Amino acid sequence: MSEPIQLSDITWESFNAMDVGAKGRYLARNNREYHVLVAQQFTRNRLEELGALATAIRRISKQEEGMTFLRSLLANHRAMLYFSQPSSRTFLSFCAACEILGLNIGEVRDTSTSSEFKGETQEDSVRTFSSYFDLIIMRSQMGGLAERMAWLLSNTERPVPMINAGSGKDQHPTQALLDVYTLQRSFEKRGSIDGKTIVFVGDLARGRTVRSLAWLLTNYRDVKMIFVAPPELQIGDDILALLKGAGVSFELMSEFDRAIPLADAIYMTRIQDEWDAPGEKRKIDISRFCFTCDKLPMLKSDAVIMHPFPRRQEISVEVDADPRAVYWRQMRNGMWIRTALIAAIFGKEHQINDFFARQGG
């Protein structure tokens, strides 16, 4: 068998210029994830395996013996969380995931407290982390930075895996994993994600979660996507071109009420006005794109409402009490799927599945 291709086999210029779908081939080692950088690196089969692993971990952790087993798996490893962009859920769920597996963690969340403040480049910062840690989990407001850093690390004598925990406006692959896991669980009794209609609402132009999730959904058969947004926040042509290329059917709408009855899942998002130029906060009226209680009767009885969070006014708090509102569960799913992903990166998947099988599944 020929050796698998790795990031160290290619120049940065060639990797960077490559079609995103082709990048995945460079991100695996030993037939499993090594770097996790783009949603496009996951196949349907892998999404199902990771979902099953997350469920095994969730069930195992219900018992003390299971918790002790999980905690022993990576007790000799350390993870660095390098989050130079604000985060609550992604950061905390990665911390919790590391703790479940026994990894110790270090963090930089405010670069004014690190040597970057003294003029150190991000490249040198990341190489420094790799001297002390076995995994780097990174969030940055710069699109493509995690890819660049992963390439850089792969070309040093101490390469460590890199997980992209959100990069600029372009990618948030682990959010997409937890969103797909939530959809898998929500549709468990209704077949699968195949054939479902997913309605995306809000700031689709700048929301990286929508971009990564829309791509992951192309792995399923006959999924229809409906994008509902004011014209200035509608989904980018690049994603639409990818969807077209993948043969996915989609529709753009500006009227939310028309989309609601068609949905099997509604994916709400907030306005990402942190991307507006300073002093140029655009006043966009999104009142027509909010999910309020009066919309509940329009929604199918077995549909689900999701949101990556944080939310503002786009879902009223009163909607939380409806059983179709699954966003709090979705958030917790993030911890399980991230635990599964880290376990998989370090080759612990079989051990977990064996333990789960011994417990009677």
Comparing CA positions, the residue from 72, 49, 48 lying closest to residue 60 is: 72
Tokens of 73: 């798996």
Question: Whole-number minimum distance, CB 190 to ligand NCD, in Å?
Answer: 26
Question: Whole-number minimum distance, CB 338 to ligand NCD, in Å?
Answer: 11
| Distance set, CA 282 to CA 204, 233, 274 (Å) | 15, 11, 11
29: β partners = 32
Look at the block and give the residue holding tokens 């790799």.
130
What CA–CA distance (Å, rounded) separates 21 from 180?
18
What CA–CA distance (Å, rounded) separates 72 from 243?
42
Q: Does 208 bind ligand NCD (CB under 6 A)?
A: yes
Q: Does 90 bind ligand NCD (CB under 6 A)?
A: yes
Question: Whole-number minimum distance, CB 154 to ligand NCD, in Å?
Answer: 25
- Tell me if 284 sits within 8 A of 234, measured CB to CB: no
Question: Whole-number minimum distance, CB 97 to ligand NCD, in Å?
Answer: 14
Write the binding mask 219 to 258 for ligand NCD: x where contact by CB under 6 A, - elsewhere: ----------------------------------------
Q: Does 109 bind ligand NCD (CB under 6 A)?
A: no
Q: Report 156-195 residues binding ligand NCD (CB under 6 A).
A: 166, 172, 175
Considering CB under 6 A, how many residues would be counted as binding ligand NCD? Answer: 11
One of 46, 77, 89, 224 touching ligand NCD (CB under 6 A): 89
Judged by beta carbon, residue 60 or residue 138, the one nearer ligand NCD is 138
Q: Report 69-88 residues binding ligand NCD (CB under 6 A).
A: none
Judged by beta carbon, residue 196 or residue 208, the one nearer ligand NCD is 208
Look at the block and give the residue holding tokens 């689709």.
204
Judged by beta carbon, residue 161 or residue 334, the one nearer ligand NCD is 334
Question: Whole-number minimum distance, CB 126 to ligand NCD, in Å?
Answer: 20
For residue 246, give the DSSP letter.
Answer: T
Judged by beta carbon, residue 154 or residue 174, the one nearer ligand NCD is 174
Helix or strand run (H / E) with residue 352:
helix 349-358
What CA–CA distance (Å, rounded) separates 125 from 106?
13
Question: Whole-number minimum distance, CB 209 to ligand NCD, in Å?
Answer: 5
- Tell me if 337 sits within 8 A of 174, measured CB to CB: yes
What CA–CA distance (Å, rounded) separates 335 from 73?
17
Write the binding mask 260 to 279 for ligand NCD: x where contact by CB under 6 A, - elsewhere: ----------x-x-------
| Distance set, CA 343 to CA 70, 85, 120, 357 (Å) | 9, 25, 32, 17
Question: Whole-number minimum distance, CB 169 to ligand NCD, in Å?
Answer: 9
Q: Does 308 bind ligand NCD (CB under 6 A)?
A: yes
Tokens of 93: 């769920």
Judged by beta carbon, residue 10 or residue 268, the one nearer ligand NCD is 268
What CA–CA distance (Å, rounded) separates 183 from 176?
10
Judged by beta carbon, residue 51 or residue 308, the one nearer ligand NCD is 308
One of 94, 309, 327, 356 touching ligand NCD (CB under 6 A): 309
For residue 142, give the DSSP letter.
Answer: S
79: β partners = 105, 135
Judged by beta carbon, residue 154 or residue 164, the one nearer ligand NCD is 164
- Tell me if 169 sits within 8 A of 140, measured CB to CB: no
Judged by beta carbon, residue 78 or residue 89, the one nearer ligand NCD is 89
The neighbour count for residue 124, using CB atoms within 10 Å, is 13
Three-state secondary-structure class, residue 88:
coil
Q: Does 348 bind ligand NCD (CB under 6 A)?
A: no
Q: Does 338 bind ligand NCD (CB under 6 A)?
A: no
What CA–CA distance (Å, rounded) separates 154 from 78?
18
Judged by beta carbon, residue 264 or residue 314, the one nearer ligand NCD is 314
Give the residues lining the site for ligand NCD (CB under 6 A).
89-90, 166, 172, 175, 208-209, 270, 272, 308-309
